[in-house]
A and B are shown apart, each in its own frame.
Chain A
Amino acid sequence: MYYYDFEQPHTNVDRKVNDKVRMHLTGFGIAGEFCVSSPARSAEELVDMGLRKGVGTVVAVGSENHINRVVNTLKGLERGLHRDIVLGVIPTDKESSLRERLRLQNIQEACEALKYRRFTTVDVGYIEGASYFLTTAEIHTSRPTVISIKADRWESEAKITDLTIFSDLTFSFFNSQKSKGLMDKWVTWLTNSRSVEDKSVSLFRARIIRVSGEAILPVTVEGTVVAKTPVVAYKMAKALKLIVKRDRFTPMDEDKNKESE
């Protein structure tokens, strides 16, 4: 049975989206148990309740912040349960990076993917002692700040304003105050008819990174502060079973051995 953990709706639009999701799920014949988080029952509590009932598939419905909260709870509880839980996601944000990553055009496609329950194992990022994440963890400062990064076999110092860590521990950082402005990029693009590379942007991949700064900086996952520097981030390789669209492969997750139950 599928256990659906809906994000609390805040507007009429959110309620309509949730109704639409329910309608699609019923239409596909995969209506399981619907739970909506609220101040009385948080998304984390609902996942906990579902796992205690013995559900094998949890579906997070909502924003990326909500989906990450579900992932974090799931991974936190999974160890104690000694069993793998399959996660389904229905990202309701139209601009969701997860939607793009899973190549889901709309809510209907996300619901349809659940119907076939085709899953793959994906990497999950982990901020030590703080949070798991399926999307990104970020550090943002208004003023350029010197940070020190220690990765697998190297260390680096850089003055940055933005650091983004993806779940596969690809990470990028740059100093936005040194980066070219949008107008400059447009002018260059129009005159040269080609894309512009920003030399201040760095991009790396690692299995483990330690980030520390000259100041204490907050680390956020989809807008929620989960830790403060210094932090250690790990790649939990193929740590989560995620339902993906039929005949579509996720670009970031290389596991080609798709499994299905």
Chain B
Amino acid sequence: MKENEIHTIVGSDVKLTGTIKDTNDIVVHGNIEGEVLSEQNVVVEEHAKVKGPVTAQAVSVSGEIEGTVKAFDKLEIHPSGQVKGNIQTKDLIIHSGARFIGKSDMVSDGGRVDAEDAGPAIEEGEEEQSTEQNSNDDESVVVEVDEES
């Protein structure tokens, strides 16, 4: 994260509902119910909670995400992190102690996020469909992890 670059920060005492998008980084310390979309990085800090889809170039999770995560470059789930939902990324790092419940779709070409042209929040059903399509691709790897079981 570059210094002095204005980015979005959701404070620890904040409860936010709706779509939040930025061309720069989004850092979440509080609670969000809705879509989070960034052209750069999304950082979900410890004790933070996101209920809804998250889309960014890179996503770092130390808190909790309940929803689809699309990280075009990298998704990192830290020891305190928890993701409940399908993920799609090029580079996946899950640290020991982290929790991930859902399908992962490893894509070879990450693509780019365009926060300016972002439409309405992605429906869960639509996301499932695209995951299945990619999973038929020979190059893609589908991993199902359920650490709860």
B-side interface size class: 20 to 34
Given contacts A172-B9, A201-B9, 14 further A-B contacts (CB under 8 A): A153-B18, A153-B19, A154-B16, A155-B18, A157-B15, A158-B11, A158-B30, A170-B6, A200-B11, A202-B11, A204-B8, A204-B9, A205-B8, A251-B4
A178 at interface (Cβ–Cβ under 8 A)?
A: yes
Please determine whether A202 and B20 come into contact, CB atoms closer than 8 angstroms: no
Q: Does A4 contact B (CB under 8 A)?
A: no
CB distance from A214 to the nearest CB of B (A): 15
Q: In the complex the two chains form, is B22's CB within 8 Å of A199's CB?
A: no
B146 → A minimal CB distance (Å)? 31
Chain A's interface size range is 20 to 34
Query: Known: A170-B6, A199-B45, A203-B8. Contact between A155 and B13, CB under 8 A?
Result: no
The answer to the question of A173 belonging to the interface, with a C-beta cut-off of 8 Å to chain B, is yes
Within 8 A of B (CB), among A140-177: 153-160, 170, 172-175
In order of increasing CB-CB distance, the 10 nearest A-B pairs are A154-B18, A202-B11, A156-B16, A203-B9, A199-B12, A153-B19, A199-B29, A158-B14, A200-B11, A153-B18
Distance (Å) between the CB of A167 and the closest chain B CB?
13
A-B residue pairs in contact (CB < 8 Å), sample of 18 = A153-B18, A153-B20, A154-B16, A154-B17, A154-B20, A154-B34, A155-B18, A172-B9, A174-B11, A178-B13, A200-B11, A200-B12, A200-B29, A202-B10, A202-B11, A202-B30, A203-B7, A203-B9
- What 0/1 pattern do residues 194 to 215 of A give for CB contact below 8 A with B? 0000011111110000000000
- Which residues from B are CB-within-8-Å of A156? 14-17
Contacts of A201 in B (CB 8 A): 9, 11
Q: Which residues of B contact A (CB under 8 A)?
A: 4, 6-22, 29-30, 34, 45
Q: How many inter-chain contacts with C-beta < 8 Å in the A-B complex?
A: 58
Which residue of A has the minimal Cβ distance to B4? A251
Within 8 A of B (CB), among A99-113: none
The smallest beta-carbon distance between B19 and chain A, in angstroms, is 4
A interface, CB within 8 angstroms of B = 153-160, 170, 172-175, 178, 199-205, 251
Q: Which residues of B contact A155 (CB under 8 A)?
A: 16-18
Q: Using CB atoms, name the residue of chain B closest to A160.
A: B13
